[in-house]
Amino acid sequence: MNSAQTNAAQTNAAQKSGIRDRLENILARLEARADREHVFSKVYAEKARAEADAADARHRAGGALGPLDGRIVSIKDLFDVAGEPTLAGSVVRRDAPPAARDAVIVGRLRDAGAIIVGKTHMTEFAFTPVGLNPHYGEPGNAIDPSRVPGGSSSGAAVSVAEGTSEIGIGSDTGGSVRIPAALNGLVGFKPTARRVPLAGAFPLAPSLDSVGPLTKTVADAVLTDAVMAGEEPVLPDPLPLRGLRVALPKGYLLADMEPEVAGHFEATVALLEKAGASIADLEVDDLIARLRDATRVGSIAGIEASHIHASTWLGDPDANVDVRVKGPLSLRVKVPAETYREIMATRAALVREMDERLGGFDMVATPATPIVAPTLASVNRDEAEYDRVEGLLLRDTQVGNQFDLCSITLPMPGMKLPTGFMLSARGGTDKRLLAAALSVEELLESESKSDMRARKW
């Protein structure tokens, strides 16, 4: 039995052990800390109980709806839930009208039997990757609460890593699924943009936005992605590692790694090569530099976000919005429309060039982040340090959004504080990437077990 089959069997066993019991354990934990809750912005206790009872009944009757039936899921608070305002991490949306209907992905998850336990906190308007929110506070990293959780899907990641949900749903515009997943020791998947519908999701930058799962296993990421994409949730056969063509983008994307990250990344690449993968260098620095030159007046995300907010709070100098959001967007809204169109034309050409260069490879390997999670104190007391950390956290992940790739991060084995081993591939090859990730996960889990045995002795 391979790793994916084992994980699926464990999931089925867990579901049959009592969905309502699992839910009650989570709700008890959340109730005990209700006065200091920074992971969830809203908990749907009674509705979740009813959904859990219905799922238990289906399982007892042998009529489960599928592999997500009875799984406990948290939703980032930029997805609409019928009857609730969508805050998107901001106090300026407290008076927003309640959503008329669930976001498409929320409806699909419910139809698959998933139990929506609550909405999770996030950085304001999903704009920053560190995980801080001056209005609602931020959850500490699940591995070490004195450290940043990563963002913008901060609560989603911590909920899964700490066990107050089994699957978290986030959004990813420059790394907002993969960064917090990596820093909390999880799997995080960014599908190709447009694979999963954005209807009912509060936008950051529509050209770059993606919806993805944060999970403890690749199998859960595969199944959740399929449900949200409107496909049959079936695990593919893992792609053999022997003969897999893996590119290493020597240069910018592999520079300035912290020593522990560099050492474990190189060891992980060596494991892949030992398992039969073919490793070769890839030149992409020139493409990245050309996009950077084209966006010196403002990032695509910043320009698009500024126009989303231009008619609401952005014109109000007294709006109670995080200065790390308000400042950049106030500048980007001034970028002329013609300049934006030129940027997007340049990006389209670079996306085509990147696609051509990746044609000879199955995937590209980089660290998800070149650093582990810094302390909350360090980024709170020093704005220059915050800016340095923000740039490093976004550096590798944002390439996937800018060049229209699909991308997944898996925990790197053996690290004291986690970050991820990230695999990215050409846009539209999501299923093949996920099939490869199942095999890579099994390899890394075997290495983790070997490492544990070695340490024991």
Is it the case that residue 6 has pLDDT exceeding 80?
A: no
Judge whether 314 lies within some domain. yes
Percent of the chain at pLDDT above 90?
93
Q: What pLDDT is stored for residue 12 in this prediction? A: 54
279 domain residue, yes or no = no
Q: Quick check: is 357 in a domain?
A: no
Q: Are residues 101 and 26 in the same domain?
A: yes
Do 82 and 136 fall within a single domain? yes
Average pLDDT over residues 245-250: 98
Residue 48 included in any domain? yes
User: Are residues 322 and 407 both part of a single domain?
Assistant: no
pLDDT digits (tens, 9 = 90+) for 379-426: 999 999 999 999 999 999 999 999 999 999 999 999 999 999 999 999
CATH of the domain at 207: 3.90.1300.10
Residue 227, domain member (yes or no)? yes
Shared domain check, 380 and 335: no
pLDDT digits (tens, 9 = 90+) for 16-39: 569 999 999 999 999 999 999 999
Options 3, 41, 74, 152, the catalytic residue: 152
Average pLDDT over residues 45-56: 98
Same domain? 444 vs 318: no
Q: Do 293 and 159 share a domain, yes or no?
A: no
pLDDT, position 16: 53
Please indicate, yes or no, if residue 353 is contained in any of the structural domains. no
Query: pTM, whole model, 2 decimals?
Result: 0.95
Instruction: Give the pLDDT confidence of 438-452 residue by residue, as tens digits.
Output: 999 999 999 877 664
> Catalytic: 176?
yes
pLDDT digits (tens, 9 = 90+) for 153-169: 999 999 999 999 999 99
- Our answer to whether residue 152 is catalytic in this structure is yes
Report whether pLDDT(457) > 80.
no
The residue range of the domain holding 323 is: 287-343
Q: Are residues 77 and 224 in the same domain?
A: yes
* 449 is a catalytic site residue: no
238 with 293, same domain: the answer is: no
Domain count, the chain: 2
Residue 1 reports pLDDT greater than 50? no
Indicate whether 53 belongs to any domain.
yes
pLDDT in tens, 65-98: 999 999 999 999 999 999 999 999 999 999 999 9
The arithmetic mean of pLDDT across residues 132-144, rounded, is 98
Active-site residue identified among 76, 119, 326, 431? 76
Which among 90, 154, 159, 176 is annotated as catalytic? 176
Phi, psi of 228, rounded to the nearest 5 degrees:
-65, -30
